[in-house]
Amino acid sequence: MKLSISKGVHLVEPGDFEPADHWYPRALNSNLHPLVSYFLNLNNHQLVERYVRLNPHVQSKALEKVINYTPKYFKWAGTDLMHVVNSKGQKKLVVIETNSCPSGQKSMPLPEFDPESGGYYKLMNDTFKPIVDAHEETGALALIYDKNPMENVGYASAIADVFGEPVYLAEYKASDAESVKFQDGKLHIQDEKGEWVPIRAAFRYVTQHPWDRIPEKSKTLLLNPIEACLAGGRNKSAAYKAYADFNQEFKQDGLEIYVPKTFLDVSLSELASYYDQLEGSMVIKVPDSNAGQGVYTVTSQSEFDKAYQALSANPDDKYLIQELIFSNANEKFENAFYHIGTLPDTKNRSFAFDARMMVHATDKGMRPLAIYSRKSKYPLNQPLPEGLDSWEVYGTNLSVKNTDGWSYDDVRLILFDIKNFGILGLGLDELIEGFVQSCMAVYTIDQQAKKMFD
């Protein structure tokens, strides 16, 4: 990558991709687990046939419709899933969140015989290039981002290689965006001469309140456009409304997006009543937060008071409340879910974990692109030491927001490689279930976006 050509802007050219710069070292030097590799190579016909075999109440035509769907707005997504069980021993993968700017490539070991650029290249070649080639706007290519440079420089380099032309890589933060602007709905980036270069298409990894600076109906083609965020890709309340619509629409076909019991549009003054209704345990979420910010697990009065005080700074906001996925089977909540957790280690510790399933739209339908897991800091099956709160047991996000930017607690990253995949206790059928859940989430959020913006 060349030196900066203007404030926060670099020029990336074909041939600039350096694998060591775009993967965590242990991901780059690991081997993808054979079972995961097998899963990634199953075609959509095989995935449908297996899923229906395991779920005979599901209509295969309905499932084919969902996983072969071509999204208009939401062409690339990452779904966070948790492996849970109820008191009757029924296992599920429940959807916690669907993300329109998902991280994951830096944590994905390269499949055997794959090109060095792996999923970076696959996303740009199979998803981005076809829609750019069909787009009629003129101008250069770009990537705009506000965090995660390890992956975004990699994506920009992959774009340059796929298209055979330079790519403008521009940092686009709300507080400091001197070299990036939208003018009459079209993205422009400032070059080394101080001139504003029009952009015909851009890959977007802007995660922090992107609607503050990215317009709807952008003339510059964006992957993903802001419509995907507003319809549920970056708004948890909108997403859960879409999930409910999906479950109603496909109920007769046997398809269902599994989610914890959820309550929407809860005011600050109503939080205490939900705390009582859910008998002293719940999760409070700020709908448009991400990267682990604005999420509060509550298991005691002191944790409720702490969360309430933090949220009181914005007294008119509305919140999303969910039933907590418990650390162990809970007799008070017979039908509730609890974490299956990792296999116990040599110290007999089992940790909560999630699985991030990244999917993308291709000419073969929706396809899995990358997958990894993150575990909690403190085990499920040991008493919580005094002074720690329940987030240490239930929180899995790796992002850490510092005064000087973002960092990642990658010690808790679990790769889907030969060494680590086994500790999750997941099998091929769970991977297929996770993919199907992800496709259903993408389908319904995109359908909601079409209702909102077409």
Q: How far apart (Å, rounded) are the C-alpha atoms in residues 108 and 203?
A: 20
- Residues near 453 by beta carbon (within 8 Å), at least 6 away in sequence: 73, 216, 217, 227, 231
Q: Report DSSP state, residue 3.
A: P
Question: Quick check: 103 and 148 in contact, CB under 8 A?
Answer: yes
Query: Is it the case that residue 68 has pLDDT exceeding 70?
Result: yes
Number of domains comprising the chain: 2
Domain limits for position 245: 31-100+232-260+325-453
pLDDT of 410 reads: 75
- Please report how many Cα atoms fall inside a 13 Å half-sphere around the Cα of residue 60, on the Cβ side: 12
Do 245 and 379 lie in one domain? The reply is: yes
**7 band by pLDDT with thresholds 50, 70 and 90:** confident
The 10s digit of each residue's pLDDT in 140-181 is 999 999 999 999 999 999 999 999 999 999 999 987 778 999
440 and 374 in a single domain? The answer is yes
Is position 163 within any domain? Answer: yes
Residues 76 and 213 in one domain: no
What pLDDT band is residue 401 in, cutting at 50, 70 and 90? low
What's the pLDDT score for residue 291?
A: 58
Would you say residue 396 lies in a domain? yes
pLDDT category at 407 given cuts 50, 70, 90 is low
Residue at 287 is within a domain: no
Residues 8 and 73 occupy one common structural domain: no
Residue 362 sits in the same domain as residue 448: yes
197 and 151, same structural domain? Answer: yes
Statement: residue 30 has pLDDT above 60:
yes
Residues 76 and 186 in one domain: no
Predicted local confidence at residue 293, as pLDDT: 76
Does a structural domain hold residue 298?
no
Rounded Cα–Cα distance for residues 31 and 29 (Å): 7
Final residue belonging to a domain, choices 205, 223, 241:
223
pLDDT at 292: 63
In percent, the amount of the chain with pLDDT more than 70 equals 94
Averaged over 429-434, what is the pLDDT?
A: 98
Q: Is the pLDDT of residue 399 over 70?
A: no
Look at the chain and count its residues.
454
Q: Are residues 112 and 252 in the same domain?
A: no
Distance CA 308, CA 64 (A): 44
Residues 12 and 134 occupy one common structural domain: yes
Name the amino acid, one letter, at 267: S
**139 within some domain:** yes
Q: Which of 164, 196, 223 is the last residue of a domain?
A: 223
pLDDT in tens, 93-102: 999 999 999 9
* Residue 143 domain-assigned (yes or no): yes
Q: Does residue 351 lie in a domain region?
A: yes
Same domain, residue pair 213 and 181: yes
Same domain as 154, residue 74: no
- pTM beyond 0.85: the answer is yes
Tell me whether residue 317 is in a domain: no
> Got the DSSP string for 36-91?
HHHHHT--HHHHHHHHHHH-TTS-HHHHHHHHT---SS--EEEEEEEEEE-TT--E
Which pLDDT tens digit goes with each residue over 264-290? Answer: 999 999 999 999 999 999 999 998 876
Mean pLDDT, the chain, whole residue set = 93
Tokens in use for 122?
């696959």
Last residue of a domain, one of 196, 223, 250: 223
Same domain, 15 and 40: no
pLDDT of residue 335: 76
Provide the pLDDT for residue 99: 95
pLDDT at 331 over 80: no
Q: How close are the terminal C-alpha atoms of the chain, in Å?
A: 39
| Whether pLDDT at 244 is above 60 | yes
- C-alpha span between 335 and 18 (Å, rounded): 50
Q: How confident is the model at residue 115 (pLDDT cuts 50, 70, 90)?
A: low
Banded model confidence at residue 113, pLDDT cuts 50, 70, 90: low
Give the model's pLDDT for residue 402: 52
User: What confidence category does residue 89 fall into, taking pLDDT thresholds of 50, 70 and 90?
Assistant: confident
User: For residue 162, what pLDDT is reported?
Assistant: 97
Give percent of the chain above pLDDT 90: 83
